[in-house]
Amino acid sequence: MSVVIVTGSAGLIGSETCKKFHAEGFDVVGIDNDMRARFFGPEASTAATRERLQASLKNYTHEDLDIRDREAMEGLFRRLGSDIKAVIHTAAQPSHDWAARDPHTDFGVNAVGTLNLLEATRQHSAEAVFIFTSTNKVYGDTPNRLPLIELENRYDIDPSHPYHAGIDETMSIDQTKHSLFGASKAAADLLVQEYGVYFGMKSACFRGGCLTGPAHAGTELHGFLAYLMKCTAKGLPYRVFGYKGKQVRDNIHSVDLVNAFWEFFKAPRVGEVYNIGGSRHSCCSMLQAIEACERISGRKLDWTYVEDNRVGDHIWWISSVRKFQSHYPQWRYRYDMEGILHEIHDALGAADAARAPLTERVTA
């Protein structure tokens, strides 16, 4: 038996990972206890995604466990042992704001949970590939020191600057304001690297920009693109925090990210770090994202501007994926911004149709 363990298996990246590795012939063991509902409320629950995975993937087994529970992790890994071929760690507390409210839980999930998984892997399945979904927030607010240029509807950087094509892995993570979330993820990131270079484990940190897709349970505190389209399409109010709405993010579809995981799994390296995101291929400012959502949905967004930006938030982030592409030249993007937003919009419509009473669907 060949097993892939996926943490956060009912989340955006976790569920996509489950589907990919299941399709490639692996038995998939998903670990998810729906902490997202605790973080962001019942509207962010991943329970429905978990149920779909259990119903649609024949060789999927769900474990309702907490990665902070060291004994539970060790017990699961001990039972599966050398059958484990990969651990894809996507579980996280993902919000700046939430981390500041409860630092112990944030650090417990992001840092201690990652340590539990790494050590369980080393003790019971040391040959397994370990892939960690890290974040660009490990760089703190250092990107805000770049010489940015203010344009009509976005910030950008001079074409002659070395980071114009995207920020690469040489940017320092020191002497910067990370937010507590960024600090807990940086701790986990360093652990994943260290278990590679110190113990020789086949490990990689994928430092993501904005990860998105139609399966994203977006909320105001996390998952901006999915939440923005939801608010636009459903007539809900939306708040833009600081930087005149000109802050820039690159956005990568969950399918494209998981395909990057797959390429690494097939030819793993030791203790690697990759910036991964939409790069120049798929990026936009908040103002540009609002315009696109309004155009695709055919509705105006009810939005207000809040002068204060979120602590540690980036003004401009575009990932350089050149290092990853140099190691794995067969990897290609399947989605750009337009394609991502259309999928999110269509998924919202499909979800509404599924929730409608039977008589309403028949009438329609």
pLDDT class of 219 with cuts at 50, 70, 90: confident
Residues 104-107: contacts with CB under 8 Å, at least 24 apart = 106/180, 106/181, 106/184, 107/180, 107/183, 107/184, 107/187
pLDDT at 228 over 50: yes
Residue 233 to residue 301: CA distance in whole angstroms: 8
Mean pLDDT calculated for residue range 183-193: 98
pLDDT at 181 over 50: yes
For residues 153 and 287, the answer to whether their CB atoms sit within 8 Å is yes
- Separation in Å, CA 296 to CA 59, 217, 222, 289, 352: 37, 19, 22, 11, 17
Q: Which of 220, 258, 255 is nearest to 339 (CA)?
A: 255
Largest Cα–Cα separation, the chain: 64
DSSP 63: E
41: alpha, beta or left? (left if phi > 0; alpha if psi -120 to 50): left
* Residue 187, pLDDT score: 98
* Residue 71, pLDDT score: 98
Q: Is 132 strand, coil or helix?
A: strand
pLDDT at 356 over 70: no
Strands 248-253 and 202-208: unpaired
Q: Which residues lie closer than 8 Å to 175 by C-beta, 6 or more apart? A: none
For residues 27 and 3, the answer to whether their CB atoms sit within 8 Å is yes
* Residue 361, pLDDT score: 40
Count up the domains in the chain and report the number: 1
pLDDT, the chain, mean: 94
pLDDT class of 364 with cuts at 50, 70, 90: very low
* Residue 349, pLDDT score: 82
Q: What percent of the chain has pLDDT over 90?
A: 86
Residue 204 to residue 126: CA distance in whole angstroms: 14
* Residue 311, pLDDT score: 77
Domain at 109, CATH number? 3.40.50.720
For residues 299 and 235, the answer to whether their CB atoms sit within 8 Å is yes
Element holding 198 (H helix, E strand): none
Q: How much is the pTM?
A: 0.93
pLDDT class of 294 with cuts at 50, 70, 90: very high
For residues 275 and 163, the answer to whether their CB atoms sit within 8 Å is no
How do residues 107-165 score in pLDDT, each as one tens digit?
999 999 999 999 999 999 999 999 999 999 999 999 999 999 999 999 999 999 999 99
Beta bridge partners of 210: 251
Domain residue limits at 57: 3-363
